[in-house]
Structures are given as structure tokens and as C-alpha cells.
Structure 1
Amino acid sequence: MNHLAHAYLSFRQPELITGNLIADFVKGRKNMELYSAGIQRGIRIHRAIDNFTDQHPVTGKAKLFFRPSCGLYSGVFTDLVYDHFLANDTARFTNDTLYSFAHYVYSQINERAAGLPPAFLEMFGYMQTYNWLYNYHTTDGISRSIRGVARRAKYLETDGNVVFAVFMEHYAALKTCYQEFFPELQTYVEGLLQMENR
């Protein structure tokens, strides 16, 4: 999953949010041990979310829309568009609550910035400046995100505008995939957290 989903599935727990967002920038057990137990828990939850998402048959179906143009990057773009649908999920956010949630997440990261990986902080600077978490809800925002990922993807030969066109062409079908998948993911994460709390 992408940034908004990882933050949302941290259930407003500050250390869980932090671990969930920095996880891709923390490699190896020794580096993980630099962080508090709560942040380590967030890192573990992030990895469990990614594994569940990658192996889920509905995600496999969503990836098929992107595969002809994106190949191995189809999963990256599926994760990204799931964030668009989450940001527009009226059962979870209104425009105002999405905006306030995004700023809550930024504030929690800023409070802990001193101990976080420099590469993450560089990316987070862009996230906060351009308010990615909030702007995922607009087609302009998700278009910019798709084009940004495509530009940075080392082995992707497809232009980001092509990827965005695929997204728009299959918008309804991808939204259905999100609607089938995300409640199952949330139930899974809630179960993991309950087990860790025992």
C-alpha cells in the first residue's frame, strides 16, 4: 500500500504512524533496533500490510490493468491508486477530515524527525510541502503522483501520462477492486494489532 493507507491503518497512534511511514527506509535488524518498540511495531505492521496486499487476489486483478504498460511496476501504481480511492472513501473521510488527518500525520513525523532516516526525511519534505496525503483525492493530485513515480522509476520505459490514462480508462473497475479489498485489509491489520496487544 501507499502512504495514506499506511498512515490510516496506524489508527492515529503516533509511533505506529512513524514506523509505518519510515519502514521502506529501514533495512536490517540492527537499523530497526535503533527505534522505540512502538516504531518497530509500526515497521512490522507496514511489512505485514505490504505482504497481505501483494498476495491478495483482488490486488492481482487490479495489477492486470497496469501490467501491459508498466510490467513489474504494476503493483506500485495499484498501491498508489488505492490511496486515491481511500482518500475519496466517504465512509472513512470527508474533505475536511482528510485535510486534518494529513496535517496530524505530518505533525507526528515532525515531532520525531530528529531520529528518522535522512532519505525518508528528504521524501517527507516533498510529501508535506505538496500535501500528498490530502491531494491524493483529486485527479490532478493523483496524476502528479503517478507522473512523479514514473519519472523516478529506474526501469520503467512508459511515460507517466500513459499510466494515468490507463488509470482513468479503468477507473470504475479499479475502484471496485479497492472496495472489495480495503475492508479485508483493515480487518487483517486490526487483528494483527489485537494479537500484538496481548
Structure 2
Amino acid sequence: MNYLAHLFLSDNDPALQLGNFIADGVRANQLQQYPARVQQGIRLHHLIDRFTDTHAVVHESKERLRPKYRKYASVITDIYYDHFLAADFSRYCSQPLETFATEAYAHVQANYALLPARVQRFLPYMVQHNWLVSYAQVEGITQALRGLSRRATFASGMETAGEELLENYESYKEEFSRFFPELQQYVAQQVQLL
């Protein structure tokens, strides 16, 4: 899952949300530098990733992408799934996406000093261009994928992944719709154990 899903799946808890948001930028030996609840958010992020990466439905999406995008199929799937969450946000959350995004940005920005350097670098751009809300449109996802393609170490083809989404939109949407409620249920159980 990508930024929106990780923020959303944080039980509306600002510290858990912060940890879940920054986890990819935190090395294992840095974990103890963070407050306990932020550490739990970092752990939750890894649990979400593990559940997602091993789920049979997600595998269907990745396999459709793999011939064209190879090792980037997982990244693209995560971004597609953020699109479907954003596009149908009212189905999963009583709060409008715009309000959720504004509050999430505020929580993260209020803890700027705790952010890893990589996150500090991209956060202003993320907020300025309102990535979380832009994900609701295919064009927003296409822009995100083009940006990732420019930063990829190897030729990724991600700049064409927006076209792929449109070509197989209903298939990816159906897979997300089967997968996401299971992820929500899993996360709800895990949050109780943190």
C-alpha cells in the first residue's frame, strides 16, 4: 500500500499515523529514537506491507503488471490501490478525503523534526501538490508514476502505467475491492495487539 492507505489505516491516531507514514525512511537501528507509539506505527507499516505483499488477490494485480513492469509491479500495484481508496474514500471513511488529507498533513508537519531526511525533502512537495487528494484521479496517479519513473535506478516503464490502469481499470478495481476489506480487518486486529 502507498501513503494514503498507510495514513488511513492508522486508527485515526496521530502518533501511529506518523510512524506508519515515515516507516520506509527509518532503519531498524533508528527505531528506538522515536516515541513508543510512533515505533508501533512503524511496526504497523511493516505488518501492512507483509500482509499486502503476500496476499493472493494482490498477487493477481502484480502478475498482470509483471510482464511489462517486472520488479516495479509491486510499486505500481500499491499506487493503483491508493487510487481506488481515494476514488471511493467515502465508502471507507465518514470523513471527506480533502479533510482527511488536510489533517494528515498537519499531523505530519507538526512533527517535522522527527521525520527522516528523505521525508523532510518530499513532504513540502507532497503537501503543495496535495498528493493524497490527487490520487483520486487517474491523472494524479499517472503523475505520481511518472515521478517515480524519473527517480528509478533502472528503466521501469512506470511512465506508461497510467495507461495500463485505464486499459484494465475494472480488473484492478475489483481486485482492490476484494482485498482492502481484508486488510482493514487484519489491521484492526493488529492495532489491538500493539
TM range (shorter): over 0.9
Equivalent residue of 2:66, what SS?
Answer: helix
Match of 2:96 in 1: 97
Match of 2:18 in 1: 18
Q: Aligned-pair distance for 1:159? A: 5.3
Identity of aligned residues (%): 39
For the Cα contact (< 8 Å) 1:98–1:134, is it kept in 2? yes
Match of 1:134 in 2: 133
Alpha-carbon distance between aligned partners in 2 of 1:144 and 1:105, rounded to the nearest angstrom: 21
Match of 1:85 in 2: 84
Q: Aligned-pair distance for 1:42? A: 0.3
From the superposition, tell whether residues 87 and 159 of structure 1 become closer, same or farther in structure 2 (CA, over 3 Å): closer
For the Cα contact (< 8 Å) 1:146–1:164, is it kept in 2? yes
Match of 1:180 in 2: 178
User: 1:122-177 CA distances to partner (integer Å, 9 max, x unpaired)?
Assistant: 121221111001110012111111111122111234250x2211111110000001
Alpha-carbon distance between aligned partners in 1 of 2:54 and 2:9, rounded to the nearest angstrom: 18
For the Cα contact (< 8 Å) 2:11–2:191, is it kept in 1? no
Match of 1:190 in 2: 188
For the Cα contact (< 8 Å) 1:65–1:170, is it kept in 2? no
For the Cα contact (< 8 Å) 1:15–1:38, is it kept in 2? yes
Q: Aligned-pair distance for 1:101? A: 0.4
Match of 1:52 in 2: 51
The count of corresponding residues between Structure 1 and Structure 2 is 193
AA in 1 matched with 2:43: R
Unaligned runs of 5+ in 2: none
* TM-score calculated relative to the size of structure 1: 0.93
AA in 2 matched with 1:144: Q
After TM superposition, which residue ranges in structure 1, 4 or more long, deviate above 3 angstroms? none
Whether 1:152 and 2:151 are equivalent positions in the alignment is yes
Q: Aligned-pair distance for 1:190? A: 0.3
* TM-score calculated relative to the size of structure 2: 0.95
For the Cα contact (< 8 Å) 2:145–2:161, is it kept in 1? yes
Match of 1:6 in 2: 6
Alpha-carbon distance between aligned partners in 1 of 2:126 and 2:188, rounded to the nearest angstrom: 26
For the Cα contact (< 8 Å) 2:148–2:158, is it kept in 1? no
Alpha-carbon distance between aligned partners in 2 of 1:27 and 1:131, rounded to the nearest angstrom: 27
